Amino acid sequence: MSDVFRRQSGPFREGDRVQLTGPKGRLNTVTLEAGGAFHTHRGVLSHDLIIGQPDASVVVSTNDIEYLAMRPLLTDFVMSMPRGAAIIYPKDAAQIIGQADIFPGAHVVEAGVGSGALSLWLLRAIGPSGKLNSFERREEFSEIAQSNVQAFLGAKPDNWSVTVGDLQEQLPASVEPGSVDRVVLDMLAPWECIEECAEALTPGGVLLCYIATVTQLSRVAEAIRSTELFTEPDSSETMVRGWHVEGLAVRPDHRMVAHTGFLMTARRLAPGSVLPELKRRASKSDFKDEDVEAWTPGALGDRNSSAKRLRKTAREAKKAADAATTDR
């Protein structure tokens, strides 16, 4: 296993991304190069002054302007990295790690990869002894995600695979039945993949779906129940409200990111096990054609990114990944 997970601490090294906080709190991110320089209208800051310093050091430009140099946390990185598809926000990623019980050494399957934000959190949680198999139906997104992961870690971890194609087709060909500990789905129609996920999961394994709307939440819950292969699904959403704490001015922030998505988890029953009769059974839902129409990508507001925009994002992400990659 490469040392990609060890780059997140210790003195600054060539190839590290560094966030510089300058006067008035303005942020700039640079990738350190021996002999490189950060130019502003307030003077020049040599990268050589930063390389070798401890994280969170204050460095001074040629015009005596002070900059706080810090490695971006994963949260900082995912919020500013190039995006093809919408990312999972840190507040939800943290809950996913907890609710899906992602553990060091776990074998995890993820789809779709989108921009790779959740992949980064999952890779960190499973550590070098785990395995992450990610699936993405759009090649451009898979490229952006791989560049983002490479830009953050400095290399592609060798315990991560990205397969281009639909999960429901690729999963059975990629993993042994009953061998996967956790499956995390972030896609428009997770109900299309439930049977394949059930086949891949080990008994007691966790299926977690991240879902944007209540109509999807309802449909995926019914799809999970109808297989009779899982425990009763649990659903939740997470709201995180920041607080302003300064002297006697202690109050909630005026703004917050409120709705992002819902999380639903269910556990794979052992083969042949039948879930004891539920106290409350959801009323049988018959979907009419109009209901199904309401769940189509267009009706749900899934924006179809143009190929031109995605090619541009992929080029930007690749540039950042190349800049962060060193022969270490």
Q: Angle at the Cα of 193 (from 287 to 272), degrees rounded to 5?
A: 95
Bridge partners (DSSP) of residue 45 are 38
Q: If binding is defined by CB under 6 A, does position 237 make contact with ligand SAM?
A: no
Q: If binding is defined by CB under 6 A, does position 138 make contact with ligand SAM?
A: yes
Helix, strand or coil, per DSSP, at residue 175: coil
Q: If binding is defined by CB under 6 A, does position 166 make contact with ligand SAM?
A: yes
Per-residue DSSP letter, 192: G
DSSP secondary structure string for all residues of 237-304: E-----EEEETTEEEE-S-------EEEEEEBPPTT--PPPPSSPPPPPPPPHHHHHHTSTTTTT---
User: Which one, 233 or 261, has the nearer CB to ligand SAM?
Assistant: 261
Contact (CB, 8 A) for 1 and 159: yes
Tokens of 281: 């059974």
Per-residue DSSP letter, 230: B
Strand 131-136 with 160-164, pairing: parallel
Q: How far is the CB of 199 from ligand SAM (least distance, A)?
A: 15
- Please tell me the distance from the alpha carbon of residue 31 to that of residue 47, in angstroms, as a whole number: 9
Helix, strand or coil, per DSSP, at residue 154: coil
Q: If binding is defined by CB under 6 A, does position 114 make contact with ligand SAM?
A: yes
Q: If binding is defined by CB under 6 A, does position 86 make contact with ligand SAM?
A: yes
Q: How far is the CB of 303 from ligand SAM (least distance, A)?
A: 11
Q: Please give the annotated binding residues for S-adenosyl-L-methionine, written as ranges.
A: 115-118, 136, 166, 186
Contact (CB, 8 A) for 184 and 177: no
Q: If binding is defined by CB under 6 A, does position 188 make contact with ligand SAM?
A: yes
Select the residue interacting with ligand SAM from 72, 82, 90, 116 (CB under 6 A). Answer: 116
User: Which one, 72 or 112, has the nearer CB to ligand SAM?
Assistant: 112
Name the one range near ligand SAM by CB under 6 A: 47-55, 95-103, 165-173, 278-286: 165-173
Q: How far is the CB of 19 from ligand SAM (least distance, A)?
A: 21
User: Which one, 65 or 94, has the nearer CB to ligand SAM?
Assistant: 94
Q: If binding is defined by CB under 6 A, does position 180 make contact with ligand SAM?
A: no
User: Which one, 28 or 161, has the nearer CB to ligand SAM?
Assistant: 161
Q: How far is the CB of 124 from ligand SAM (least distance, A)?
A: 13
Q: If binding is defined by CB under 6 A, does position 196 make contact with ligand SAM?
A: no
Q: If binding is defined by CB under 6 A, does position 115 make contact with ligand SAM?
A: yes
- Please tell me the distance from the alpha carbon of residue 2 to that of residue 28, in angstroms, as a whole number: 29
Helix, strand or coil, per DSSP, at residue 108: strand
Q: Please give the annotated binding residues, written as ranges.
A: 115-118, 136, 166, 186
Q: How far is the CB of 97 from ligand SAM (least distance, A)?
A: 13
Name the one range near ligand SAM by CB under 6 A: 66-74, 135-143, 219-227, 312-320: 135-143
Tokens of 170: 């690729």
Q: Which amino acid is at 4?
A: V
Q: If binding is defined by CB under 6 A, does position 157 make contact with ligand SAM?
A: no
Which residues form the interface with ligand SAM (CB under 6 A)?
85-88, 111-112, 114-118, 135-138, 141, 166-168, 186-188, 193
